Amino acid sequence: MDDNQHNGLEERHFLEGPHSRSHEFLTLIRITWELLKGFRLLHFVGPCVTVFGSARFKDDHPFYDLARKVGSRLAEMGFTVMTGGGPGIMEAANRGAKDAGGTSVGCNIKLPQEQQPNRYLDKFMTFRYFFVRKVMLVKYSYAFIVMPGGVGTLDELFESLTLIQTKKILGFPVVLMGTDYWEPITEMMKRAVAAGTISPSDLSLFLITDSVDVAMQHLEKHAIEQFGLKRHTGMRRLGWLGE
């Protein structure tokens, strides 16, 4: 059994309910250590925008090209481009950041079918736990760009929207790239409004567009002007922590 299969079995075991106190304590230590390593890795990378999207698109796909352009424009605006660190859309966004001379980081995940970090990353960490990885993808971001993707991308999109809707994070712009692809999501959200399960104002939590220019203008207004680019230049590195 290879490491990824072992990690998959271990995580399933963790989610099967209560286990021995010693096992639960060791799991807690592993989670805490993973959080700590993630905090240390990303502490000085600067203001990030996270790009979500499918790992399955190849470099000859229009969505790959679009994500690469998005990555370049984000870097030109002064953002660090953060992704899930894998192939497809993630690779394209990281590659675009490198094209523009920007900083590119990734939060990779261990899977039974191993996901290798893409080659356009300045820094990356491979996580065992999905929920720890998602903490990092949200904690260091000023905005979220959501490219076409599958179940994982939908999970990341709706978790981000939930955090904004419940005001756990405030005013963070969410841009969905690809109007045709995301049209069913728009219709579903409108049905939710009609059913009374969300508020009409929740439809304004995200912008859907095909235009990179429109997406960047939205970030200019709702991320840069609202928050400013905090580069943490005044934060002192501590040598004894290996920073």
pLDDT digits (tens, 9 = 90+) for 126-145: 999 999 999 999 999 999 99
Mean pLDDT, residues 157-165 taken together: 96
What pLDDT does 7 receive? 55
Long-range contacts of range 208-214, CB-CB < 8 Å, 24 or more positions apart?
A: 208/175, 208/176, 208/178, 208/179, 208/182, 209/175, 209/176, 209/177, 209/179, 210/177, 210/178, 210/179, 212/66, 212/69, 212/70, 212/73, 212/177
Residues contacting 165, CB < 8 A, separation 6+: 198, 202, 205
Q: pLDDT digit string (tens) for 211-226? A: 999 999 999 998 877 6
Cα 80–chain centre separation: 12
pTM of the model: 0.89
What pLDDT does 150 receive? 97
Mean pLDDT, residues 39-45 taken together: 92
Question: Which residue type sits at 168?
Answer: K
Regarding predicted confidence, which is higher, 18 or 214? 214
Q: How far apart are CA 196 and CA 105, in angstroms?
A: 39
Residues contacting 211, CB < 8 A, separation 6+: none
Q: pLDDT digit string (tens) for 49-81? A: 999 999 999 999 999 999 999 999 999 999 999
Domain boundaries, the chain: 3-227
Pick the CATH number of 3-227 from 3.40.50.450, 3.40.109.10, 2.40.30.10, 3.20.20.70: 3.40.50.450
Structure tokens at 30: 């592993």
Residue 1 pLDDT > 50: no
Residues contacting 128, CB < 8 A, separation 6+: 7, 10, 11, 30, 34, 110
What pLDDT does 241 receive? 60
Q: How far apart are CA 33 and CA 137, in angstroms?
A: 17
What phi and psi, each to the nearest 5 degrees, are found at residue 82?
A: -110, 135
Residue 232 pLDDT > 50: no
Q: Quick one: angle between helices 130-139 and 21-42, nearest 10?
A: 30
Residue 233 pLDDT > 50: no
Residue 84 pLDDT > 50: yes
